[in-house]
Amino acid sequence: MKSSKPVYRLVLLLAGTFATSSYAALSPTEILMKATTLTCTFTSQQQTRWGASGPLKEEGTIFYEVTFDAINHQTGQAKVRIKKRYVWQDESDDIPVRMRVFRYSITFFELTNSGALDPVITTILDDYFGETTKFIAVRSAHVYSSFKRALATQETGTCVPG
């Protein structure tokens, strides 16, 4: 009977060690900063177009997914796959991105195939949306439309690490 107490204590010690190092025990900032994949769902869009009569603002509901994959915090690079493509984006499956890590967020800057910056920037905050464990995300684009008019869009949604 005495031999079971040391085994029991060892089991408790090991269980405590694994429990404190589990993914669930990490803070939202730690989870975001350790993510190597983030899948984002965007559901709301605000758009402003400038024309001869001034700015025209529109707002609406959207739905599409963006996945940031192969996130490498050391090199500041990743890849992005988009289920809904913009007219001005390349048709490749993986768009290269550069990233910048801030204290409480990660910002991704999409690139064209030639390596130039694309006009799309996505910031993922370490703050959860409401009572969920989904990170808040904001995606912005600034371009000229086919009618030579300035166009700015901002989309909001949530991201989960994968």
CA 43/CA 14 separation, integer angstroms = 43
Q: Domain 26-161, what architecture?
A: Beta Barrel (2.40)
Q: Measured between alpha carbons, how far is residue 139 from residues 15, 16, 41, 42 in Å? A: 41, 40, 11, 8
| All structural domains of the chain with their residue ranges | 26-161
Tens-digit pLDDT string for the chain (162 aa): 455 554 444 333 334 434 444 556 899 999 999 999 999 999 999 988 877 788 888 888 888 899 999 999 999 999 998 876 555 454 456 788 999 999 999 999 987 666 666 678 999 999 999 999 999 999 998 876 666 677 888 999 999 998
* Tally of helices (H runs) and strands (E runs) in the chain: 2, 8
CB atoms < 10 A from the CB of 117, how many?
12
Radius of gyration of the chain (CA): 21
pLDDT number for residue 13: 38
Q: Which pTM value belongs to this model?
A: 0.75
DSSP state of 116: P
> In whole angstroms, what separates CA 78 from the centre of its chain?
11
Q: Which residues of 78-111 are buried (b: 16+ CB within 10 A; e: fewer)?
A: bbbebeeeeeebeeeeebbbebeeeeebbbbbbb
pLDDT number for residue 8: 41
